[in-house]
Amino acid sequence: MSERSTLSVGQVARRSGFAPSAVRYYEREGLIRAERNAGGHRRFEPDVLRRLAFIRAATHVGLTLDEVRQALATLPHERTPTKADWERISRGWRTRLDAEIAALEALRDGLTSCIGCGCLSLQRCRISNPGDQAASRGPGAAYLPEPLRRPDEP
C-alpha cells in the first residue's frame, strides 16, 4: 500500500462525516481496516469511505452493529468491493427494511390517531399504562412495534 494513495484518520473523518473517534472505534470493532505506516499512524485505503457510508446508512435504518459486521464480513478484503457485492448485501436487507418500514408506519399511524383523537383520557387511551402493565413485556417502550424496540447497542 503506497502511503500517497492512502488516507489518514483525519482525512477519512473529513470525507466520511464521522468523528475521528468513530473511525477508530469502527476499526477496533473490525468494521473497517487500516494499516500502520512506519511512524505507527493509521493509513486507510480509499474504499474505506464506501464501507463507512454503508455503516451510516445501515445504522440509520436501524441495523445493529452486529448486523453491519456480518454484512461487511461477506465483502472481499483483497479487492475493492464491486457494485455486485454491494447489491448482494442490500438484497439481504430487504426483508428487514420492509419490517422496519411497516413498524414505522404503524407507529406513525398510532401516534396520529391517539394525538388526533382529542379525548385526553388516559383511562381510554390505548397507549396508557395503568398499573404499569407494560412492565410485564420487558424493558423499553413496550407498546412500540417490535422492530422499533430493539435495545441500543453499547
In a domain, 63, yes or no: no
Of 25-34, 35-44, 56-65, the range with the lowest mean pLDDT is: 56-65
Instruction: Evaluate if residue 154 carries a pLDDT over 50.
Output: no
Instruction: Evaluate if residue 147 carries a pLDDT over 80.
Output: no
Of residues 100 and 27, more confidently modeled:
27
As a whole number, mean pLDDT of residues 124-131 equals: 62
Domain that includes residue 102, residue range: 94-127+140-149
As a whole number, mean pLDDT of residues 20-38 equals: 94
pTM summary value: 0.66
In a domain, 99, yes or no: yes
97 pLDDT tier (thresholds 50, 70, 90)? confident
In a domain, 116, yes or no: yes
Q: What is the pLDDT of residues 53-83, one digit of tens each?
A: 989 988 887 788 998 999 888 888 777 788 8
- Is residue 53 within 8 A of residue 16, CB to CB? The reply is yes
β-partners of residue 135 are: none
How many structural domains are present in the chain? 1
In a domain, 144, yes or no: yes
In a domain, 104, yes or no: yes
* Whole-number average pLDDT of the chain: 81
In a domain, 10, yes or no: no
pLDDT of 56: 92
In a domain, 23, yes or no: no
Of residues 119 and 106, more confidently modeled:
106
DSSP character for 147? Answer: G
Residue 72 buriedness (CB in 10 A; 0-12 / 13-18 / 19+): buried
In a domain, 15, yes or no: no
Pair type for strands 42-43 and 35-36: antiparallel
